[in-house]
Amino acid sequence: MPRFLSAFKVLRPTFSVLLLFPLLLPAQQPTSIPPKVKAATDRAVAWLITQQKPAGYFNDDKTPTEVKPGNLPSHSAAMTALALMGLASVGHMPNDPTPEGQAAGNALRYIVHNIIPDENGYLGKSDRSRMYGHGIITLMMTEMVGHAPDDETDRLLHQQVKGALQLILRAQAVSKSEANRGGWRYEPSSSDSDISVSVWQLMSLRAAKNAGFDVPKDAIDKGIAYIKRSYQAERDDQGRPKGDAPFSYEPYGGRKTFSTTAAGLLSLQVAGQYDAPEVIGSANWLLTSPPEISEPWFFYGTYYYAQGMYQRGGEHAAIARQKTEQMLTDTQNPDGSWFPRNGNEKSAGAVYATSLALLSLSVYHHFLPIYQK
């Protein structure tokens, strides 16, 4: 997913960036977190909070950058939102009176108090993370409703979510071709769409609706229709998909990868399409095309894969969980972090990879509402 790399840059001086394993026998889903996974997530949390800067943001830069409200270190709000979701996914909420909770609370304060949305509610402008950052930050904020560390942060959070949702709706309503209609891309004014940007916006809309915000059903329906147009199966004379297939980066063509397929799978289920042909077919496709550590977008795609296959349940969830846990526990660094191995993802850094690894390992923790069944 190289365009994700060019669209989402992490604050690092010289780097830029910013979702066949032998089939296992069907297994019963474990009812508890395996000790090795618990140990891995504990180490990851301990490492991640050491990467927080005094201002509250997370990134790999060893030299903290001055924070100016409305003009933040590049992509620091979006990266901090990923880290905060990673912490929260294993139970460390911003209003918890623990060291981990205090770190999460400082992260939420950093984002909410330092982002200055423009008149349209654009959250991706302050840190130049564009619509990728806007979707990631909006999703994080909706998941933190009820968990703000203080009343003023809670008030600003609600205010910013409302503006952010309106921005997503306006960006979706931009005049587009039939293929691109209902989706989103790099800027609110973009007249085209891609699956990578669109899934963050669609999940944000659904999460906001679940949290009690006013989200038109029509907007979610249009987002669903866009994602479905990226499903690359053969179709019958009625246009209905046949067989197992991947999702592509753009509708009716483009790259068909593990990460784009996993992203489509998760986003449709989050939007309530649990038994859609596109969900069934893409989940089956992922059984024979699971992630490998050398994937171009391994951490990004594994996050979608782990959460999406968990939503599918049964054999799909059991196989994906075992595969995900084996890959991540085997490749965790001694200090508790993960670092991308592929060139396209290497420049994202360890905060990015560790945050997504936590989200990938957290499928049975049930702390974030958006990923609950």
Query: What's the pLDDT tens digit per position in 50-73?
Result: 999 999 999 998 888 889 999 999
pLDDT at 373: 64
Mean pLDDT for the stretch of residues 220-231: 96
Query: Is pLDDT at 8 greater than 60 in this prediction?
Result: no
Q: Using the predicted structure, report yes or no on whether residue 11 has a pLDDT greater than 70.
A: no
pLDDT average, residue stretch 322-341: 96
**Which residues form the domain of 23?**
2-371
User: Which residue matches tokens 């200090």?
Assistant: 335
Three-class SS state of 251: coil
Q: What's the distance, Cα to Cα, between the start and end of the chain in Å?
A: 28
Q: How many domains are there within the chain?
A: 1
Return d(Cα 283, Cα 271) in angstroms, integer: 16
Of 86-100, 121-135, 169-183, 242-256, the range with the lowest mean pLDDT is: 242-256
Half-sphere exposure of 275 (CA within 13 A, CB side): 0
Instruction: Tell me what pLDDT residue 13 has.
Output: 33
Integer Cα distance of 275 and 262 in angstroms: 15
Write down the pTM of the prediction.
0.90
The string over 312-325, giving b where at least 16 C-beta atoms fall within 10 Å of a residue's C-beta and e elsewhere, is: beebbbbbbbebbb
Mean pLDDT of 85-104: 96
Residue 254 has pLDDT above 80, yes or no: no
CATH value at residue 343: 1.50.10.20
